[in-house]
Amino acid sequence: MNQDMAAQAAHKAGFIAALDQSGGSTPKALKLYGIDQSAWSSDAEMFDLVHQMRTRIIKSPAFTGDKVMGAILFEQTMDRDIDGTPTAQYLWEKRHVVPFLKIDKGLAEEKDGVKLMKPMPGLDALLERAVAKGIFGTKERSVVDAANPTGIAAVVAQQFDVARQVLSHDLVPIIEPEVTISIPDKAEAEGILLAEIRKHLDDVPAGKQVMLKLTLPTKANLYKPLIGDPRVMRVVALSGGYSRDEANAKLSHNTGMIASFSRALTEGLSVRQTDAEFNASLGSAIDSIFQASSVKR
């Protein structure tokens, strides 16, 4: 493990940029950026376009380790280059941003009020490739759609099973059991989720740490007990569909949590903007998310 990356991931002020939209979410991300589906005729062309968007973000003057602690990449982004340099290497060497990799293969059908992760055949091979590419950690997402104790227990158990596999490769897993922000029993679901996470932290191997990526909670500081746990490197918040202003406001009331925003980060960016306009808009977004992520102890 790169100890400089580990120190930054664990302690540095800033937030994690989620640049990991995959097959299902890429068309929506491109549409919000101003590129309609008529602009491509194959998945390859679509992924070329989204890589151009991500490259523009990563190369922006505001996108540095001063405020962006880390960035989560889609597998195809890891496998591509920026200016002839592999993306993860470029992030760390040129921008001083810690690279993470999304490893899940999407969501299974809903059962017991949750969506588990689909099977991940070949995960060990992917993790070996990630290590070779200079990746520091991973991210794996499942979804909670109801305060169903059986379903939430299954989600957390699966997440920690995958996390142990990731840890065996000396990578740091970001465990992401997202609670859907629109469900009526969100607060109850979050209480059940917290209890399950605390139970499974006992299974983290000695000397290892995980990160947790959690929906901004209905009850401020609900997840504060996790932040001081020695088995938890960092607790980060997903925006979950909240606007940037809403997400920042909610985050500012959660002591010690930092952001890991996707749509809330890229909100307002457009392919039609000049570089000056684009960089100003992204810089403003980064400043506001950094401020909301500032340590509040």
Q: Which residues are catalytic?
A: 176, 213
CA atoms within a 13 Å half-sphere pointing along the CA-CB vector of 244: 19
Q: Report yes or no: 56 and 278 within 8 Å, Cβ to Cβ.
A: yes
Q: Report yes or no: 250 and 290 within 8 Å, Cβ to Cβ.
A: no
Closest CA to 258 of 222, 296, 228, 231: 296
What are φ and ψ of residue 121, in 5° steps? -65, 140
- What does the alpha-carbon distance between residue 101 and residue 138 come to, in Å, rounded to a whole number? 5
CB atoms within 10 A of CB 201: 17
Q: Report yes or no: 16 and 258 within 8 Å, Cβ to Cβ.
A: yes
Strands (E), the chain: 15-19, 68-73, 81-82, 85-86, 98-102, 114-115, 137-144, 172-179, 210-215, 232-238, 258-261
